[in-house]
């Protein structure tokens, strides 16, 4: 059946009529929507909208993450024929998932960008649909969190990262990818006591009360124990999951702006993500994939898998 479908399926991003089910379109051809889902702005009957925010003007070091959403979509074609591994249900078949396309914004009008992103995400949430966002640099999580906090109240932030991104900056209008979670806590968008940052391995003396599980603790305790600790911290509070790809070690994700050695391995990350199933997740993002710094495409592949795991976490609560 799969072989027969592969002979006939093409450009499923535009031609598919069912929002559910795998795609057997040749992985090396066709339009590259995320997981070959349908490109659409129609959110009727949709469970999850995958959307891109191709912005990197908040980067402090190496740019290029504006190309991340496109690269992650292309890499995701490798996953589109099969049910996500290790989950007791097939998210692609049991959930209505669409590719909502990218946010439109004026790249030369940076001050207007945050509100544009918040409005974009609000439109998804108002349709009672969860968003999974492909970045872009990590600043984009701040305007996204604004929309989520408006809907759910202060969020628990589950952040995978080499950096805390809570360096002090009281200028709320300043666009920077190292201070946005300081602003999120100070603005009341995030409840620090019920939040946790995983994989941290850079120095920040004031973490604003956010719980830290650094990369060494993950290594020494193991990913399964790490997942247990995460669940205990988050409880049943509404969660927004943000995965900075530099949370992974540069050996697994070299294509990023601020790589730091001693990070998580891909198997550690995958075990943690699967073992936290059941958290009250409402949405999430994958950020800081910078294709120009990775000729192999491995970083985008990791990003595509992480975004799929976020989809599965959302599906777990809906179908299990």
Model pLDDT for residues 198-209, shown as the tens digit of each residue: 999 999 999 999
Domains identified in the chain, total number: 1
How confident is the model over 243-287, as pLDDT tens digits? 999 999 999 999 999 999 999 999 999 999 999 999 999 999 999
Residue with the larger pLDDT of the pair 3 and 156:
156
* Phi and psi angles of residue 296, each rounded to the nearest 5 degrees, phi first: -85, -20
Q: Which two tokens stand for residue 29?
A: 């051809």
10, pLDDT greater than 80: yes
**Mean pLDDT throughout 86-113?**
96
What is the pTM for the complete model shown?
0.96
Q: Which of 224, 241, 319, 226 is nearest to 279 (CA)?
A: 241
How confident is the model over 278-308, as pLDDT tens digits? 999 999 999 999 999 999 999 999 999 999 9
Q: What is the CATH number of the domain that holds 69?
A: 3.40.800.10
What is the span of the domain harbouring residue 129? 2-319
1, pLDDT greater than 90: no
User: What pLDDT shows up at residue 320?
Assistant: 66
Please state, in angstroms and rounded to a whole number, the distance separating the CA atoms of residues 129 and 239. Answer: 15
Q: Which of 214, 208, 114, 213 is nearest to 166 (CA)?
A: 208
Please state, in angstroms and rounded to a whole number, the distance separating the CA atoms of residues 180 and 184. Answer: 6
**Mean pLDDT throughout 216-222?**
98
190, pLDDT greater than 90: yes
User: What pLDDT shows up at residue 317?
Assistant: 84
CB within 8 A of 130, min separation 6: which ones?
Answer: 47, 48, 49, 124, 282, 283, 314
């Amino acid at each position: 059946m799969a072989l027969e479908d592969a002979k006939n399926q093409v450009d499923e991003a535009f031609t598919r009529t069912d929002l559910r089910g795998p795609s057997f379109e040749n992985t090396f051809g066709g339009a590259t929507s995320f997981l070959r889902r349908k490109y659409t702005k129609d959110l009727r009957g949709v469970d999850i909208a995958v959307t891109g925010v191709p912005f990197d003007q908040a980067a402090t070091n190496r740019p290029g993450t504006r190309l991340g959403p496109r690269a992650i979509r292309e890499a995701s074609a490798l996953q589109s024929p099969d049910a996500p591994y290790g989950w007791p249900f097939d998210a692609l078949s049991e959930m209505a998932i669409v590719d909502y396309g990218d946010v439109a914004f004026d790249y030369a009008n940076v001050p207007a960008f945050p509100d544009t992103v918040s409005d974009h995400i609000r439109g998804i949430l108002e349709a009672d649909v969860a968003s999974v966002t492909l970045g872009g640099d990590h600043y984009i999580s701040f305007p996204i969190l604004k929309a989520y906090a408006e809907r759910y109240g202060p969020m628990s932030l589950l952040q995978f990262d080499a950096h805390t991104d809570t360096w002090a900056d009281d200028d709320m209008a300043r666009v920077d990818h190292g201070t946005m979670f300081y602003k999120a806590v100070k603005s009341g968008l995030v409840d620090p006591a019920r939040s946790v940052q995983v994989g941290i391995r850079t120095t920040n003396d004031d973490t604003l009360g956010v719980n830290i599980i650094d990369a060494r603790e993950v290594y020494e305790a193991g990913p399964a124990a790490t997942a247990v600790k995460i669940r205990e911290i988050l409880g049943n509070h509404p969660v927004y999951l943000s995965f900075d790809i530099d949370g992974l070690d540069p050996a697994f994700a070299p294509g990023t702006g601020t790589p730091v050695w001693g990070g998580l391995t891909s198997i550690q990350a995958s075990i943690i993500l699967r073992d936290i199933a059941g958290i009250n997740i409402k949405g999430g993002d994958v950020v800081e994939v910078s294709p120009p710094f990775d000729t192999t495409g491995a970083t985008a592949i990791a990003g595509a898998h992480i975004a799929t795991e976020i989809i599965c976490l959302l599906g777990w609560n809906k179908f299990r």
